[in-house]
Amino acid sequence: MLRLIQLELQKLWLNRTSKVLIFISFILPFTVLILSSIKINFFGFFTLELGELGIFNFPIIWHITTFFASYFKFFFAIVVVSMIGNEYSNKTLKQNLIDGLSKKEFILSKFYTIVFFSFAATVLIGLATFLIGLYYSSYTEASIIFREVDFLLGYFVKLVGFFSLCLFFGMLVKRSAFALAFLVILYILEWIIFGVVTWQKDSAATGFQVKNFLPLESMYKLIDQPFQRIIMTKFPDKADLAYDYAVHFHEIAIVLGWTALFIFLSYRLLKKRDL
- With both helix axes pointing from N to C terminus, report the angle between 204-211 and 176-201 in degrees, rounded to the nearest 10: 150
Write the CA distances from 229 to 52, 155, 244, integer angstroms: 17, 18, 10
The residues of the chain scoring below 70 in pLDDT are 29-54, 98-99, 236, 238-240, 274-275
At 245 the pLDDT is 86
Distance CA 8, CA 35 (A): 34
Structure confidence at residue 46 (pLDDT): 46
- 85 within 8 A of 171, measured Cβ to Cβ: no
Return the pLDDT at 240. 67
Number of H helices, E strands in the chain: 14, 2
What whole-number distance in Å separates Cα of residue 270 and Cα of residue 213? 26
pTM, full prediction: 0.89
Residue 208 phi, psi (nearest 5)? -70, -35
* Dist CA 148 CA 140 (whole Å): 14
Residue 202 identity: D
Q: What is the pLDDT of residue 253?
A: 97
Query: How far apart (Å, rounded) are the C-alpha atoms in residues 241 and 79?
Result: 39
Cα separation, 3 vs 103, in Å, equals 15
8 A C-beta contact, residue 165 and residue 66: no
Residue 94 to residue 80: CA distance in whole angstroms:
18
CA distance 203 to 205: 5
